[in-house]
Structure 1
Amino acid sequence: MALTKFGFIVTGDDFVQYQGTEKFSMKVVGVSDASKGVAVAKEMVAEGIQLIELCGGFSPVWAGKIIEAIDYKVPVGVVAYGPESIDSMYRLFAN
């Protein structure tokens, strides 16, 4: 089976956007709080999304909660930033 349905969850503002072609679809969902990612991921799995990627704004703790909430039904990846980005990430998400 090829990947045809991809989901991305980003922290920031609440929104939903769809992109894709006849053979591939992507659902991007923005959440104003990482805790909202749990419900979004469950919804994505119910819609048949095959793989979920979380933005770097999700901590490992929230990634784990999301993975457990969907009962490991699809792979969940997390965008990671290297140590050189720690200070700028802190400034970005501190408020």
Structure 2
Amino acid sequence: MTVVVWVVAAMLAVAAALALVRIVRGPGPLDRMVGLDVLLSCLIGGLGLEAAANEHGSTLPVLAVLALLGFVGSVAVARFAAGEHDSDGGVDGRPR
């Protein structure tokens, strides 16, 4: 199992490095947000790999909080980028 752990850890490290490149060189804020999401996913995967390799479940609450944080952050940025709110204050484009 040690070889599998090292291979997966190497793949996660490469993915995290490529995500850092996307964060630094991303042409727009949405590209940077995608890079942050991938980086957070790599972090979650790394913590899960560590928990599986050491056969303990004490990091499960941390993994759940990180996943929730990533989801809420992505939804917030997507709503901001979509520009759903108009000048009347209505969400769906109809006046109140």
Provide the TM-score with structure 2 as the length reference.
0.24
Kindly indicate which of the two structures has a greater share of residues assigned to helix: 2
Provide the TM-score with structure 1 as the length reference.
0.24
Indicate the structure (1 or 2) with the bigger Cα radius of gyration: 2
The one of the two structures with greater contact order (alpha-carbon pairs below 8 A, sep at least 6) is 1
Kindly indicate which of the two structures has a greater share of residues assigned to strand: 1
